[in-house]
Structure formats: C-alpha cells, structure tokens
Structure 1
C-alpha cells in the first residue's frame, strides 16, 4: 500500500502540471453522466414509473452504480489501458522489477479527472436519499457503502479480465465495453425490468444484480422473507474479483514479449 500511495502522489502531481486542462476535463466528466441522468428524468416524467420502480428509487440505483464506475475508472485505469504496455513492450520492464505485476499495472495510470463523474454521482445519490422514505440505520448505511465498494470491485474485475486478453490479442478488444460501459448503463436500472436470462446472467455470472438490485430491495424494504441474503449480496462483488486475479496470473505466465 505504501507503493500504491506513492504511485498516486506521483501521477497526481504530473496531472496537476496542466491545471486548466485538468479542471476542464473534470467538468466534462461531470456533465457526461448528467446528460444520461437527464434522459432518465425525462423518461420518468413521461411514464411515472417502470415496473413498480419510482424515479427516486431508480436514481438511487443510478447514483450507486455510476459512483462505483467512477472510482474504478479512476483507480483501476492501468488495467483499462493495459494494451499499450503490451504493445510497446513496456510490460517486460514490469516483469523484472521486484514488485508484483498487479500493483505496478494498477499504479501505472490514474485518471483523477473522473472525480467530476464521481461528484455528479454523489449529488444524484444524495438527492435520491433525501427524497426516499428510508428508515436509515447503521446496517442500511453500511449496506449502501458496501454496494458502492462491491460495484467498484466488479468493474475492476472486468478491467482485469480485459487486460488479461491483451496477452494473446495484443490490442485491446472493444467487445469488452459491453460489460463495462454496457454493464454500467444496464445496472443503473433494477435488474427485474429486463428479461429473466439477462437478470440471471448479471446476477450469477457478472454479479451486478448483487449491487444494484438485491441490496436495493433491502434498503427500500421491498424484500421478501429473511433480509440477511439481501444484506450480504454485495459480498459477491468482492468474490468476483478473485477468479479475475487468478486468470490474470495465468495470462502473465503465458506472456510473450512483442519484441518492440
């Protein structure tokens, strides 16, 4: 962790060398999800609700998943842009250093401008919380924070899997955006509005449903029966990252230099 925070400090200083650019990019990142949220607002203004979900309930899901994505994009950007390290042969240097490959890759790039997206998500989340009749207690607050952290772990796991593919494909594959950008867009709504096969896939394979749907049912007191499975559902997000790390290690063992 000491090395991780040193990476953070170095890259933050480098990005702050062009402060105007940094501020403008952060503002741009603030307004990107704002346009998506505006579309969400207009949708509910026209139809009132979607399959029993009100605007503020969906806004809560929106804020959680976009906050998780913003944090993952900020701190796991090294995996998202990993293909350049392989293509240019710079991963060879990482292999000969006396530190783990994962900490070096994750520390190779941080996108602090994503805090603009994060701020917008916090505003939406706060607005939803204020307008929802939720009886908040320590448990529900803990579940809320766990949902954000779990979502961040899932997106990071997908970034790791995408980076691992680069050991064989060299170039990054745009198809992975189906599960990153596409997963973010899909998970901003509760999963039960989709077809059953979609909700099952994004619950048992890529567990977005354990972030934006099951624990959301607990927060809104919509669950049936024992509340414990709904409360503990976000743990699946942290479990998802374990096989992703295992796959990464397999990819490292099969890495062949590009010779650049």
Structure 2
C-alpha cells in the first residue's frame, strides 16, 4: 500500500501543475450529475412518487450510487483506461516489475477531478437524510457506510472485468458502459420499479440491488421478513470483487506480449 500511496501522491502533484484546469474540470464534474438530479426532481414534482417511493427516498438512493461511482472512478481509473497499456505494449513493463499487476494498474491513473461529483453526491445525501424521518441507530449508520463501500467494490469489479477483456480485444469495448454508466443510471432508482428479470439480474449477477435497494429498505424501516438479510446485503457487493480478481489473473496468464 505504500507504493499505491506514492502513485497517488505523484499523480496528484502532476495534476495540480495546471490548477486552473483541475478546478474547472472539478467544477464541470459537479454539474454533470446535478443536471441528472434536476431531472429527477422535476419528475417527482410532476408525479409525486414512483411506485410508493418518495422524492427524498430516491434522492438517498441517488446519492449513494453516485458517491460510490465517483470514488471508484477516481481510484480505479487505471482499469478503465487499461486498453492503452495493452495497445502500446506498456503492460509488458508492469509484468517485469516486482509488484502485483493490480496495484500497478490502479496506480497508473487517478481522476481527482471526480471530487466535484463526490461533493455533489454528499450534498444530495445530506439533504435527503435531513428530510427523512429515519430512526437512526449505530447499525443503520454502519449499513449506510457499507452501502457506499459496497458500490465502490462493484464498480471497481466491473472496471476490472472490462480491462480483462482487453487482453483479447486490445481495444476497450463500449458495450461495457452498459454496466458502468448504465448501471449507475439504473441503480439511482429503487430496483422494484423495473421488470422482475431486471431486478433479479442486478441482484444476483451484478449485485447493485445489494448496494441500495435491499439495505435501503432496512434503513427506511420498510423491510419485510428477516431483517438480517437486508442488513447483510451490502456484503454481496464486496464479495463481487473476488471473482473479478480471479478473472483478472486468468487474463494476465493468457496475455500475449507485444514482442517489441
């Protein structure tokens, strides 16, 4: 981890060499999800609720998933831009270094300008929580934090899977954005508003439902049956990273050097 933090420090210093550009990009990242949130606000202004969900309940859902995406996109950006390492043959250099490829790829790029998106999510989260009558406890507070952590692991795992495909396709595949950008847009609403097959897929295959919908039901006091299942749901999102790591190692073993 000391190596990882050195990567972090060096790339942060390099991006701060052009501070005006950095702050303008961060400013832009603040307003990109804000426009989406404005659409969400006007939707509820017109219809009042969606399948029993109020505006501030969905706003909480929105804030959690966007916060997780912003953190993952900042610190796991190396996997999202991994295709350039394979295409240019620079991944060969990572293989001969006495450190794991995962930590090196993660440390190859950071997007600190995602700070703007993160700040916007924190503001929405605070606004939603201040307008919801939640009977808070230590367990519920921990579950809320775990929801965000779980989302970070899921998005990082998807970025990792997309990077693994580059060992065979060389170029990155835009279809993966269905599960990153599309998953983010889909998961900003409670999953029960979609068709059952969509809910099942994004609960048991890519567990976005375990990030916000199921634990959110417990936090809001709307859970049915065994509450422990709703409480432990975010762990599924963290466990999601394990098969992604195995698939990544499989891809590394089958990587063919550029020969240059």
After TM superposition, is the score higher than 0.5? yes
Aligned to 1:36: 36
Pairing of 1:31-180 with structure 2 (within 5 A): 31-180=31-180
SS in 1 for 2:238: helix
| Distance (whole Å) between structure 2 residues aligned to residue 189 and residue 27 of structure 1 | 25
State the Cα distance separating 1:92 from its structure 2 match.
Answer: 0.2
TM-score, structure 1 normalization: 0.99
Question: Which blocks of at least 5 consecutive residues in structure 1 are unaligned?
Answer: none
Superposed CA deviations along residues 165-184 of structure 1, whole A, max 9, x for unmatched, are 00000000000000000000
Superposed CA deviations along residues 133-181 of structure 1, whole A, max 9, x for unmatched, are 0011111100000000000000000000000000000000000000000
Superposed CA deviations along residues 47-95 of structure 1, whole A, max 9, x for unmatched, are 0000000000000000000000000000000000000000000000000
| Distance (whole Å) between structure 1 residues aligned to residue 60 and residue 176 of structure 2 | 26
Aligned to 1:4: 4
| Distance (whole Å) between structure 2 residues aligned to residue 76 and residue 144 of structure 1 | 22
Question: Which blocks of at least 5 consecutive residues in structure 2 are unaligned?
Answer: none
| Distance (whole Å) between structure 2 residues aligned to residue 8 and residue 126 of structure 1 | 28
State the Cα distance separating 1:259 from its structure 2 match.
Answer: 4.0
| Distance (whole Å) between structure 2 residues aligned to residue 220 and residue 164 of structure 1 | 38
Number of residue pairs matched by the alignment: 260
SS in 2 for 1:233: helix
| Distance (whole Å) between structure 2 residues aligned to residue 256 and residue 239 of structure 1 | 29
Moved more, 37-46 or 222-231: 222-231
State the Cα distance separating 1:225 from its structure 2 match.
Answer: 1.8
| Distance (whole Å) between structure 1 residues aligned to residue 225 and residue 194 of structure 2 | 23
Aligned to 1:243: 243
> Cα RMSD between the aligned structures?
0.6
State the Cα distance separating 1:197 from its structure 2 match.
Answer: 0.1
Pairing of 1:214-225 with structure 2 (within 5 A): 214-225=214-225
SS in 2 for 1:234: helix
| Distance (whole Å) between structure 2 residues aligned to residue 216 and residue 258 of structure 1 | 47
State the Cα distance separating 1:226 from its structure 2 match.
Answer: 1.9
Aligned to 2:25: 25
| Distance (whole Å) between structure 1 residues aligned to residue 108 and residue 137 of structure 2 | 39
TM-score, structure 2 normalization: 0.99
| Distance (whole Å) between structure 1 residues aligned to residue 135 and residue 25 of structure 2 | 38
| Distance (whole Å) between structure 1 residues aligned to residue 144 and residue 181 of structure 2 | 22
Matched, 1:255 2:255: yes
SS in 2 for 1:158: helix
